[in-house]
Amino acid sequence: MSNIDAFANSFPPNMPGVPPVDDFTDGTFPTDTSQPETQGDEPLEAELGEDGQGDLAPEDEGLQHSGDAPSDLRDGTE
């Protein structure tokens, strides 16, 4: 399924008699698209934890709930 309006509206307007602007931008897309440095490692070089999670802080490990919540929300068991 395609959205023809999104495609048609992605071009600068064709307005005869109005001088064209050199740099067309509608201001909705950020001009600074550089990615921030995260944890000093490239994403492909970062080490994973035991279960495939990213770098965890020591306080992030262990139980995250009071003990009455299910351990795995996918199977519905408690």
Question: Is the distance from CB of 12 to CB of 24 less than 8 angstroms?
Answer: yes
Rounded Cα–Cα distance for residues 29 and 58 (Å): 37
Whether residue 78 is predicted with pLDDT greater than 60 in this model: the reply is no
φ, ψ for residue 54, nearest 5 deg: -75, -170
Residue 19 has what DSSP assignment? P
Residues 29-42 have pLDDT tens digits of 666 677 666 666 56
- Residue 14 is predicted with a pLDDT of 72
Entry pTM: 0.15
Asked if 56 contacts 49 with a C-beta cutoff of 8 angstroms, the reply is yes
pLDDT in tens, 13-72: 677 777 776 666 666 766 667 766 666 656 666 566 666 666 666 666 665 566 676 666
54: CB partners within 8 A, 6+ apart: 46, 48
